Amino acid sequence: MHRCNKCDIEFRKKKTLEQHIQYIHKSVSPSIKKILILGGGFAGINILQDILKEFQNNVNVEISLVNQDNFFLFTPMLPEVASGMIHPSDISVPIRTFCKRAKFYQAVVSTIDLEQRLVTITRTFDGKVHALEYDYLIFALGSKTNFFGNKNLEKHSFTIKTIEDAIGIRNHAINMLENAAQTGDPDLQQKLMTFTVVGGGFAGVETIGAINHFVRDAAASTYPNINKEKINMILISSEKRILPEINKKLALSAMRYLKKVSVKIITATKAIDADEDYVLLDNGEKIPCTTLIWAGGVSVDPVISEIKCEHDSSGKIKVDKYLKVACFTNVFALGDCASIIDKTTGKPYPPTAQHAMHQSKVVSNNLKVAINGKGSLVSFSYSSKGWMASIGKRTALVSIFGKNVEGILAWFIWRTYYLIQMPTFEKRVKVATDWLVDLFFKRDLTCVGKIKKKTLSKIDVKDEMPTLKELLFPDL
């Protein structure tokens, strides 16, 4: 590999590096096309990998990616991290692993101006605001947890969206076990040992399944003082059934299994209020509990919903069949932050990693067509080949090509599929090792406490990026 240290990128061929230095650092070529990808999740990383292959040796194309964390997160395995089965870093891959000749900015996207073709970003480590220009822009910023404006629910819930969320849930569950083991008060013990998850979709069901397994096994093996009768696991769904994304038969099997392993399922009910030690339902029931995990819905970040373009009622960006934003032919949106209508159902495609990855192929193709000026645009149309969810101890549900599989075989298929989907060989080995260890040993109940974080406010990290002021008013 041949590096340009100034840009912090590398090229496979020496000749390409020489061309890059000539075009970018000596006499800036007017034909340079700047591609800016916002978001380093399933959608963003898949596009990055695809276009890097195409433009590896084309110095007229500059590729940049912005993400708030310096890693890609494999979200379907978050419940396994929250229940201590997998180590957090094993489902996180540093974004620079994928970058090679693309620039990476670890920063929060703060504003987006489609008219001016300008994005401002706030650098994560020192809070500096910078401006990035682009010729082609890709929105892949995902979604955020939606509390529907309920501040109490937001304040007293854990969410299950980020790696910090999963670590937080695991540590809290261990703390609750420690607390419950030290009280002789049966009511308090019950409150400490009641775990409520709101949300009957994949995230909620997989989370209650994983936590149920973890807490019951830990209590049985390590906490003899905890009365096992006092452990309550509750799943609340606002829908009439859980897992509305999958076929009814399989969803009913999931309900049967969860009930068998003592998870109480409350359907057609909403959580409307909460405090530190209870959650209140809209049927008037008040559940005393010290753990509330919210997987009750997603929406988009204001940085997306406030962009001046067409949005759906939830704030997602509306795109056409080529995944382009209306009126801005150089701007694409995909994944959880985009509203893409499925022609066969008339409804938006569901926000899943599976869809984000298929959409990324369409965007990559259409971007290449736009830049190369040849080839044909491809429209997005996808019908899911199947679904799978892990719902407890060595148990999963799989629906593939119209066939339903449950139990240990489904669990094996689930694991194999997700292992293949992990983006690097190293992480596959690590996850497989975690799973193997879990078959033979008890879960680790070490609870790592608060972690000190140092911010650098006095150190000035100089770089090539202009500030917004320099970009807009170069003569001042």
Ligand X SMILES: Cc1cc2nc3c(=O)[nH]c(=O)nc-3n(C[C@H](O)[C@H](O)[C@H](O)COP(=O)(O)OP(=O)(O)OC[C@H]3O[C@@H](n4cnc5c(N)ncnc54)[C@H](O)[C@@H]3O)c2cc1C
Residues that bind ligand X (CB under 6 A): 39-44, 66-69, 75-76, 78-79, 108-109, 140-142, 160-161, 202-203, 206, 301, 303, 335-336, 351-354, 356
Nearer of residues 202 and 257 to ligand X, judged by Cβ? 202
CB of 141 to ligand X, least distance (A): 4
CB of 424 to ligand X, least distance (A): 16
**Least distance to ligand X from the beta carbon of 108, Å?**
4
CB of 232 to ligand X, least distance (A): 22
Q: Identity (one letter) of the amino acid at 390?
A: S
Q: Is the Cα dihedral 320, 321, 323, 329 positive or negative?
A: negative
Nearer CB in complex with ligand X: 11/380:
380
Cβ distance to ligand X smaller for residue 68 or 267 = 68
- Residue with Cβ nearer ligand X (204 or 216): 204
Q: Which of 17, 234 has the CB closer to ligand X? A: 234
Residue 412: left (phi > 0), alpha (psi -120 to 50), or beta? alpha
CB of 42 to ligand X, least distance (A): 4
Residue with tokens 């769904």: 237
> Shortest approach of ligand X to residue 222 CB, angstroms?
26
Question: Listing from the earlier edge strand, what are the strands of the sheet with 395-400?
Answer: 386-392, 395-400, 403-406
User: 138 forms bridges with which residues in the sheet?
Assistant: 37, 332
- Pick between residue 87 and residue 230 the one whose CB is nearest to ligand X: 87
Residues contacting residue 386 through CB under 8 Å, at least 6 positions apart: 398, 399, 400, 401
| Minimum distance, C-beta of residue 243 to ligand X, in the bound complex (Å) | 11
CA nearest neighbour of 28 among 58, 60, 5, 56:
60
Q: Closer CB to ligand X, residue 86 or residue 192? A: 86
Are 36 and 140 within 8 A, CB to CB? Answer: no
CB of 51 to ligand X, least distance (A): 15
Q: Which is nearer to ligand X, 62 or 336 (CB)?
A: 336
Nearer to ligand X, 19 or 68 (CB): 68
- Closest contact distance (angstroms) between CB of 218 and ligand X is 21
**Nearer CB in complex with ligand X: 83/354:** 354
Q: Which residue is nearest to ligand X (CB)?
A: 41
How far apart CA 235 and CA 65 sit, in angstroms, is 38
CB of 356 to ligand X, least distance (A): 4
